[in-house]
Amino acid sequence: MSKMLAQRTLKSLTKAVGVGLHSGQRVELTLRPAAPDTGIVFRRVDLPQPVDIAISAQSVTDTRLASTISSGSAKVHTVEHLMSACAGLGIDNLYVDITAEEVPILDGSASSFVFLLQSAGIELQAAPKRFIRVIKPVEVREGEGASTKWARLSPYEGYKLSFEIDFDHPAVDSTGQRVEFDMGSGAYSRDIARARTFGFTKDVEMMRANGLALGGGLDNAIVMDDYKVLNSDGLRYNDEFVKHKILDAMGDLYLLGKPLLAAYSAFRSGHAMNNKLLRELLAHKDAYEVVTFEDEKKAPRGFATLARAW
Ligand SMILES: [Zn+2]
């Protein structure tokens, strides 16, 4: 008898405490198991009446600096690194209880979230995992010439992402500006999750003056001046910058609410354009279909086996 490809949640709950990158505010996060077909639901437990914010392409209401989801006036900022870890480990159903308006930045990558989720243990559930399979290409594009940027989803029997950045900075020029990652490698935790967010000292000063990046520093970001990386330990990957863009894209795209079967490619995209791409896909009902796998052996590589720890 064949075994279906099942939805996943956590075996037990797990907690983390940290600070928000922009707010600098202390925040507690509790990740809890959820029933099949719940999806991923953030719950603001600090409000007088707790408010649930279920992820969806439409739940994203602000994409400046980070991806923010909201329901009414309740918001959660900077969800993309946690969402990336959920995408990488194939978590379908999860409650995320949070005590402030921003997900903790932890080490600036997704690896702390991967560690938390792995430590809680991953449970297979009695319901088929539902994918959104792209059957016709969709694309969003902005700007002309030197300021052009675009993002695209194309049919692909699996999930792969390729990203190109175009930063004119000595510390970035010397590293890879383009990277491709395929979920079929099974190596998300090792190859993508550890890539940290990055910023420039001059931007950080400006953001701080505007009450942003208050929790940011050398222990949760790659920080560069006009010439070099200032972190004493250097980079975790020699192409860490563009790998972080893949990490962010995986998180932004997972806000769709179901894993994609598609090839994503992008040039200088970011949170705003990634969300626009999801809305473009949903606006074209003939461009996708929802599929399940009755026999997990027929599923694309990288989805049936539980992800390796590291
Ligand atoms: Zn990021």
> Under a CB-based contact definition with an 8 Å cutoff, are residues 160 and 266 in contact?
no
Q: What is the pLDDT of residue 301?
A: 84
pLDDT of 308 > 70? The answer is no
- Pick the most confident of 47-56, 164-173, 208-217, 298-307: 47-56
Measured CA to CA, the distance from residue 265 to residue 249 in angstroms comes to 10
222 CA → ligand 1 middle, Å: 11
- Pick the most confident of 225-229, 235-239, 272-276: 272-276
294 CA → ligand 1 middle, Å: 35
295 CA → ligand 1 middle, Å: 35
Element (H, E) at 28: strand 26-33
270 CA → ligand 1 middle, Å: 9
The dihedral through the CA atoms of 200, 150, 162, 102 has a sign that is: positive
The dihedral through the CA atoms of 276, 279, 283, 285 has a sign that is: positive
Tell me the pTM. 0.95
Domain limits of the chain? Answer: 6-298
- DSSP structure class, residue 146: G
> Under a CB-based contact definition with an 8 Å cutoff, are residues 84 and 78 in contact?
no
Class of domain 6-298: alpha beta
> Under a CB-based contact definition with an 8 Å cutoff, are residues 213 and 200 in contact?
no
Higher pLDDT, 160 or 65: 160
Higher pLDDT, 305 or 97: 97
The residue among 11, 215, 24, 3 whose CA lies nearest residue 119 is 11
> Under a CB-based contact definition with an 8 Å cutoff, are residues 103 and 82 in contact?
yes
- DSSP structure class, residue 232: T
pLDDT of 162 > 70? The answer is yes
pLDDT of 310 > 60? The answer is no
Q: What is the pLDDT of residue 303?
A: 85
What confidence tens digit (pLDDT) does each residue in 2-22 have? Answer: 889 999 999 999 999 999 988
Measured CA to CA, the distance from residue 95 to residue 33 in angstroms comes to 6
pLDDT of 252 > 90? The answer is yes
Q: Which of 22, 77, 81, 271 is catalytic?
A: 271
Percent of the chain with pLDDT over 70: 98
Arithmetic mean of pLDDT over the chain: 93
Confidence of residue 307 (pLDDT cuts 50, 70, 90): low
- 271 is a catalytic site residue: yes
Residues belonging to the chain? 310
Percent of the chain with pLDDT over 90: 78
> Under a CB-based contact definition with an 8 Å cutoff, are residues 167 and 177 in contact?
yes
Q: What is the pLDDT of residue 9?
A: 97
Where are the alpha helices (H) located in the chain, listed in sequence order? 80-89, 111-120, 170-173, 188-191, 201-209, 240-254, 271-283
Kindly write down the DSSP assignment for every residue of 46-103, as one continuous string. Answer: TSSS-EEEE--GGGEEE-SSS-EEEETTEEEB--HHHHHHHHHHT---EEEEESSSB-
Q: Average pLDDT of 122-128?
A: 96
Q: What is the pLDDT of residue 201?
A: 87
Answer left, alpha or beta for residue 37, where phi above 0 means left and psi between -120 and 50 means alpha: left
Give the chain's radius of gyration (CA, Å): 19
Q: What is the pLDDT of residue 304?
A: 77
Q: Average pLDDT of 77-83?
A: 97
pLDDT of 300 > 50? The answer is yes
83 CA → ligand 1 middle, Å: 11
243 CA → ligand 1 middle, Å: 10
269 CA → ligand 1 middle, Å: 12
**Angle separating helix axes 240-254 and 80-89, nearest 10 degrees:** 80
